[in-house]
Structure 1
Amino acid sequence: MFNPMTWDAPYLVVVAALFVIVMLRANGTYWLGRGMTAGAEHTRLAKLLRSKHYANASRWLNRWGAPAISLSFLTIGIQTVINLAAGVTRMPLRRYLPAVTVGGLLWAFLYGTVGFIGWAAVVKLWQFSPPLLVGVLLLAAGGIAWSLLRRETPAEVHAESLPRG
Structure 2
Amino acid sequence: MEYGFLEGRPMWLVYSALFVIVFVRTQVTYWIGRGVDAGVRRTRYAARLGGRLERAQRLINRFGPPAITVSYATWGVQTAAHLAAGAMRMHFPRYLMAMLPGCALWAAIYSLGGMAVLVVWWNAFLSSPALATIVSLVVAAAVVTLVVVRRRRGAVRAVSAGDDGASGDPVST
Q: Would you say the 8 A contact 1:3–1:116 is kept in 2? A: no
1:135 alignment partner AA: S
Aligned-partner SS, 2:112? helix
C-alpha contact (below 8 Å) 2:68/2:95 kept by paired residues:
yes
Question: Residue type matched to 2:108 in 1?
Answer: F
Partner of 2:31: 31
Correspondence 1:83 to 2:82:
yes
Q: Distance in 2 between matches of 1:64 and 1:38?
A: 22
Per-residue deviation, residues 122-144 of structure 1 (Å, max 9, x unmatched): 7xx6xxxxxx775358x98xxxx
TM-score, length basis structure 1: 0.57
- Aligned partners of 1:4 and 1:14 also within 8 Å: no
Decide whether aligned partners of structure 1 residues 63 and 133 sit closer, same or farther in structure 2, where only a CA change above 3 A counts: same
Alignment length, in residue pairs? 121
The 5 Å alignment of 1:1-165 reads 2-3=2-3, 7-40=7-40, 61=60, 64-118=63-117, 121=120, 134-136=126-128
CA contact (8 A) 2:29 2:82 kept: yes
**What's the offset of the Cα at 1:18?**
0.6
The structure that has the greater radius of gyration is: 2
Code of the aligned partner of 1:116: M
C-alpha distance in 1, partners of 2:89/2:61?
12
**Taking structure 1 as reference, are residues 20 and 10 closer, same or farther at Cα in structure 2, changes over 3 Å only?**
same
Amino acid at match of 2:69: S
In the TM superposition, residue 16 of structure 1 has moved relative to its aligned partner by 0.7
TM-score by length of 2: 0.55
CA 1:6/1:89 → structure 2, altered by over 3 Å: closer, same or farther? closer
Q: Distance in 2 between matches of 1:133 and 1:81?
A: 26
- Structure with the bigger RCO (C-alpha within 8 Å, sep 6+) is 1
Tell me, which stretches of 5 or more residues in structure 2 are unaligned? 43-56, 133-173
Gaps of 5+ in 1: 43-57, 126-131, 141-165
1:92-111: CA deviations, max 9, x gaps?
11111121111000110011
Deviation at 1:115, TM superposition (A): 2.8
